[in-house]
Amino acid sequence: MAFQRKKIAVIGSGFTGATTAFILGQKELGDVVLVDIPQLENPTKGKALDMMESSPVLGFDSNITGTANYEDIQGADLVIITAGIARKPGMSRDDLVNTNASIMKSVAEQVKTHAPNSIVLVLSNPVDAMTYTFFKTSGFPKERVIGQSGVLDTARFRTFVAMELNVSVEDVSGFVLGGHGDDMVPLVRYSYAGGIPLETLIPKDRLEQIVERTRKGGGEIVNLLGNGSAYYAPAASLVQMAEAIIKDKKRILPSIALLQGEYGYNDIYLGVPTLLGANGIERVIELELTADEKAALDKSADSVRNVMAVLK
Ligand SMILES: NC(=O)C1=CN([C@@H]2O[C@H](COP(=O)(O)OP(=O)(O)OC[C@H]3O[C@@H](n4cnc5c(N)ncnc54)[C@H](O)[C@@H]3O)[C@@H](O)[C@H]2O)C=CC1
Ligand SMILES: O=C([O-])CC(=O)C(=O)O
């Protein structure tokens, strides 16, 4: 049987979208269609062509094209949504809600029309509420509408722990639950370096500082950049989720998933451990939480609900 390359649409050709397209291409996960608004048609085409021209040097054969025409995403297997405004210093992610909700609704209509069978990864902030907005507008089944936060938040936690211990990041595992805001819940109890519980390797007060830095990790980059937000680590995180789906790897990764009773919550998109494979979210994994951990998760869920209330 002929090999059929996957078609991946990346909506939004800004910092995160362009970086995501470039990594997807380099990893040959499929052919990439980068989409932006008509006013940015030429720059979007230019970015895509520039990436294509790197392919002989880097040695990849994925096609990367740019467009402002949603018809070009026809039949996409995977759609990654990065469209929307990013925050600047002094803003919270929640300040983006009204602008990005209207962008998300219009993108969802286009995806529903042109890529009705796709699996969708949402990045745009505030991402828990934006994933819910896509879900409601598109009518797609919940397992095909997935938000990205936990892979990034966990990557930040792992980076800080590896820096603290001066060990390989590869040996550090972490676990972040909840909404993608400053009250996200890094679960230290489930975090290890080389299989050794972190609580036995790092003093409690230092671990608390690392947890706090993780919670505010997005803001730390916003303050350093001055005019936008993180994009290398967010793009890498999207690609890890995309790879799990495209290669049906059945990876256990944190995703923003629709909860219908899991962890005691209903009708809310929230970051939880999931199994990611060819069908999207194939399972939400429920963990036993201590009373303190559950209280922290409740607080994070309340913050997400407050943002969702603005939309209703
Ligand atoms: N969930 C997460 O972990 C993260 C979320 N983000 C969020 O991702 C979003 C994008 O961030 P950046 O790429 O840095 O912003 P950016 O401003 O560089 O790019 C956004 C792009 O979306 C485009 N766009 C707007 N409306 C569109 C539409 N209807 N169709 C197609 N494209 C459209 C804009 O023209 C712009 O090129 C922001 O909301 C940001 O807060 C960023 C990093 C991490
Ligand atoms: O902080 C932001 O606005 C972008 C984001 O979500 C992150 O980098 O975690």
Cβ atoms 132, 308 nearer than 8 A:
yes
Q: What is the mean pLDDT of the chain?
A: 97
Q: Does 12 show up as a binding residue in the annotation?
A: yes
Give residue 125's pLDDT band: very low, low, confident or very high (50, 70, 90): very high
How far is the centre of ligand 2, averaged over its atoms, from the C-alpha of 221 (Å)?
A: 8
Q: 133 pLDDT exceeds 90?
A: yes
Task: Tell whether the model's pLDDT for residue 3 goes beyond 90.
Answer: no
Ligand 1 in reach of 131 Cβ (< 6 A): no
**The pTM of the whole model exceeds 0.95:** yes
pLDDT of residue 219: 98
Q: Which CATH number fits domain 150-310: 3.30.70.890, 3.90.79.10, 3.40.190.10, 3.90.110.10?
A: 3.90.110.10
pLDDT at residue 1, as a whole number: 67
Q: Is the CB of 67 under 6 A from ligand 1?
A: no
Question: Strands 78-81, 7-11: parallel, antiparallel or unpaired by DSSP?
Answer: parallel
Give the model's confidence band at 312: pLDDT under 50 very low, under 70 low, under 90 confident, else very high.
confident
Token pair of 289, please?
């939480």
Q: Ligand 2: does its nearest atom lie under 6 Å from the Cβ of 221?
A: yes
AA letter at 234: P
Out of 44, 72, 80, 85, give the residue to mutate to test ligand 1, the one with the largest number of ligand atoms within 8 Å of its CB.
Answer: 85
Report the nearest atom of ligand 1 relative to the CA of 68. 31
User: Is the bond preceding residue 197 a cis peptide, omega within 30 degrees?
Assistant: no
Q: Provide, rounded to the nearest whole percent, the portion of the chain with pLDDT above 90.
A: 97
Max Cα separation, the chain? Answer: 58
Please report the pLDDT score of residue 311 as a whole number. Answer: 85
CB–CB of 34/68 below 8 Å?
A: no
- pLDDT for 255 equals 98
The pLDDT of 82-102, averaged and rounded, is: 97
Q: Are 82 and 36 in contact (CB under 8 A)?
A: no
Q: Where in the chain is the domain with CATH 3.40.50.720?
A: 7-148
How many percent of the chain have pLDDT more than 70?
100
Q: For residue 278, give both structure tokens.
A: 């060819």
Whether ligand 1 lies within 6 angstroms of the CB of 37 is answered as yes
> Which residue's CA is the nearest one to ligand 1's atom 27?
83
Question: What ligand has the least distance to the C-alpha of 215?
Answer: 2
Ligand in closest contact with the CA of 184: 2
Closest CA to 278 of 85, 109, 37, 117: 117
pLDDT digits (tens, 9 = 90+) for 187-198: 999 999 999 999
> Is the pLDDT reported for residue 134 higher than 80?
yes
Catalytic (active-site) positions: 180
Q: Are 217 and 131 in contact (CB under 8 A)?
A: no
Is the Cβ atom of 66 under 6 angstroms away from ligand 1?
no
In this predicted structure, the answer to whether residue 224 has a pLDDT above a threshold of 80 is yes
Q: Which H or E element spans position 267?
A: strand 266-277
pLDDT for 120: 99
Confidence of residue 79 (pLDDT cuts 50, 70, 90): very high
Q: For 244-294, how does the pLDDT look when each residue is reduced to its tens digit (9 = 90+)?
A: 999 999 999 999 999 999 999 999 999 999 999 999 999 999 999 999 999
Q: Is the pLDDT of residue 175 over 90?
A: no
Place of tokens 């509408």: 145
Q: How far is CA 68 from CA 39, 226, 306, in A?
A: 8, 28, 34
Q: Choose the residue to mutate in 93, 122, 224 for probing ligand 2, maximizing ligand atoms within 8 Å of C-beta.
A: 93
Q: Give the mean pLDDT of 109-118.
A: 98
Lookup result for tokens 């962890």? 263
Q: Kindly identify the ligand whose nearest atom is closest to the C-alpha of 125.
A: 1
**106 touches ligand 1 (CB under 6 Å):** yes
Q: In this predicted structure, what is the pLDDT of residue 275?
A: 98
Using the Cα atoms of residue 220, residue 305, residue 100 and residue 75 in order, give the sign of their dihedral.
positive
The CATH code for residues 7-148 is 3.40.50.720
Q: Where in the chain is the domain with CATH 3.90.110.10?
A: 150-310
Q: Which numbered atom of ligand 1 lies nearest the CA of 13?
A: 37
